[in-house]
Homo-oligomer: A and B are copies of this chain.
Amino acid sequence: MIIIMKIDSPTEEIESIYSTLQSWGITPEKYVGKHNIVIGLIGDTEEIDIRQIQNLSPCIERVLRVSKPFKRVSLEFRHGESSSVVVSTPNGAVTFGQNHPLVTVAGPCSVENEEMIIETALVVKAAGAQFLRGGAYKPRTSPYCFQGHGESALGLLAKAREVTGLGIITEVMDTADIQKVANVADVMQIGARNMYNFSLLKKVAAAGKPVLLKRGLGATIEEWLMAAEYILAAGNPNVILCERGIRTFDQKYTRNTLDLSAIPTLRTLTHLPIMIDPSHGTGNAKFVPSMATAAIVAGTDSLMIEVHPNPSKALSDGPQSLNLEQFESLMLDISSFAKIMGRWPQHALTSAFKHSTFPVNSHFARTSNTMLRA
């Protein structure tokens, strides 16, 4: 249930509503949007009559029930406004969100040694990425495969962060490692295989860092949003949703089936920012460029790309990793399409469009929004 209040409602009025709701055993959560103040109600609201709340204050515009099983992550809970996740990195704050420039995350599947991670970090930084990814702890199907270098890899990520100023995104698999990972990571990743690991979700949420939540390979959109709900319900609103390919009946030429339609679907269901990982999504480096650029046009807020200095020698996921030159080349395409979509930092926009009358950008933004609201 949400209460939509007039934007200029006085604080005392809101506080009065709060205390009444709390006396009913309901937890209110306030969100100040552009056009309204929204108070979300968490708790046993089924029995409450909408008119009963309506009568609490003349500043209340409307009271609505949230029809979905997910509440805090639902678009309804923000009355249709998207949210953003701001991550502070040595190079400054980076914002993930629908009304913000595209964010690029790049790096190897796993941190193999100092040389490779620093070299990769320097190249992806120079090419325009804001975040370095790299696994210290790797969930591997076989206990006999390389499991990541663990704590020492975290140290190397810290060093790469220091050298380049990039933000760090790395996976945490075990509740025992949360503090160690939180010390280094700017965003903590919950991997696809742990999307249903509700204990991990709750405890990572409590660590306070922004969380990247990958979709489970057999998880429905709704289950994925419910997993995100676990994190918000634990008090952490900073969740980014990452689609990385789902498991279907056809696994011959692609490792997974990248579900790009998740982008417009999520836009109708949740306010949370979206990331697409075409590397895991296809499992084939040759398919990454077309899927990465398609994802931008489909509206993704960020991309995660696997990059390795020497993919054929990678300890894991080599076939889906771009080499450094391929990544630099792809970043040119990514920036071109991000500019077209109006999703590139202003200075870049300026330089690219200075002498151009190219009408795509503004037009597309207009017509697409029209369509999506239709």
Task: Please report the C-alpha to C-alpha distance between residue A194 and residue B363 in the assembled complex, in whole angstroms.
Answer: 40
Query: Which residues of B sit under 8 angstroms from A196, Cβ to Cβ?
Result: 139, 193-194
CB–CB A221/B253 < 8 A:
yes
- The reply to whether the CB of A239 lies closer than 8 angstroms to some CB of chain B is no
Task: Please report the C-alpha to C-alpha distance between residue A281 and residue B262 in the assembled complex, in whole angstroms.
Answer: 12
CB–CB B264/A287 < 8 A:
yes
CB–CB B218/A247 < 8 A:
yes
* Cβ-neighbour of A257 out of B254, B261, B267 (below 8 A): B261
Task: Please report the C-alpha to C-alpha distance between residue A251 and residue B249 in the assembled complex, in whole angstroms.
Answer: 8
Q: Given A220-B249, A249-B218: A372 and B286 within 8 A (CB)?
A: yes
For residue A140, give the distance in angstroms from its CB to the closest CB of chain B.
7
Query: Which residues of B sit under 8 angstroms from A251, Cβ to Cβ?
Result: 249
CB–CB B353/A336 < 8 A:
no
For residue A109, give the distance in angstroms from its CB to the closest CB of chain B.
16
| Total number of A residues with any Cβ neighbor in B under 8 Å | 100
**Interface hits, A347-374 → B, CB 8 Å:** 352-353, 355-365, 367-368, 370-372, 374
- The reply to whether the CB of A4 lies closer than 8 angstroms to some CB of chain B is no
Task: Please report the C-alpha to C-alpha distance between residue A281 and residue B263 in the assembled complex, in whole angstroms.
Answer: 14
* Cβ-neighbour of A291 out of B140, B254, B261, B285 (below 8 A): B261
- The reply to whether the CB of A114 lies closer than 8 angstroms to some CB of chain B is no
- The reply to whether the CB of A153 lies closer than 8 angstroms to some CB of chain B is no
Which of A70, A142, A221, A329 has its CB near the most chain B CB atoms (within 10 A)?
A142
Q: Given A336-B360, A372-B267: A143 and B294 within 8 A (CB)?
A: no
CB–CB A142/B229 < 8 A:
yes
Q: Which of A55-63, A160-168, A171-179 contacts B (4 or more CB under 8 A)?
A: A171-179
**Interface hits, A15-43 → B, CB 8 Å:** 42
* Cβ-neighbour of A361 out of B260, B339, B365 (below 8 A): B339
CB–CB A143/B341 < 8 A:
no
Chain A interface mostly: helix
Query: Which residues of B sit under 8 angstroms from A290, Cβ to Cβ?
Result: 263-264, 297-299, 368, 372
- The reply to whether the CB of A170 lies closer than 8 angstroms to some CB of chain B is no
- The reply to whether the CB of A269 lies closer than 8 angstroms to some CB of chain B is yes
Query: Which residues of B sit under 8 angstroms from A374, Cβ to Cβ?
Result: 285-286, 326
Residue of B nearest to A327 (CB): B371
Interface flags for A192-227 (1: CB within 8 Å of B; 0: not) read: 011011111000000000000000111111110010
CB–CB B326/A371 < 8 A:
yes
Q: Given A229-B142, A229-B143, A367-B332: A293 and B287 within 8 A (CB)?
A: no
**Interface hits, A236-265 → B, CB 8 Å:** 246-254, 257-261, 263-265
CB–CB B175/A174 < 8 A:
yes
CB–CB A370/B142 < 8 A:
no
- The reply to whether the CB of A141 lies closer than 8 angstroms to some CB of chain B is yes
Q: Given A175-B175, A218-B218: A142 and B367 within 8 A (CB)?
A: no
* Cβ-neighbour of A329 out of B249, B252, B367 (below 8 A): B367
Query: Which residues of B sit under 8 angstroms from A90, Cβ to Cβ?
Result: none
- The reply to whether the CB of A342 lies closer than 8 angstroms to some CB of chain B is yes
* Cβ-neighbour of A341 out of B223, B288, B365 (below 8 A): B365
Query: Which residues of B sit under 8 angstroms from A70, Cβ to Cβ?
Result: 142
CB–CB A363/B332 < 8 A:
yes
- The reply to whether the CB of A122 lies closer than 8 angstroms to some CB of chain B is no
List 5 A-B residue pairs with CB atoms under 8 Å apart, sorted by A's residue number.
Answer: A141-B226, A143-B230, A220-B249, A333-B368, A342-B362
Q: Which are the 8 A-B pairs with shortest beta-carbon distances?
A: A218-B218, A193-B196, A174-B199, A294-B294, A294-B298, A336-B360, A264-B287, A143-B233
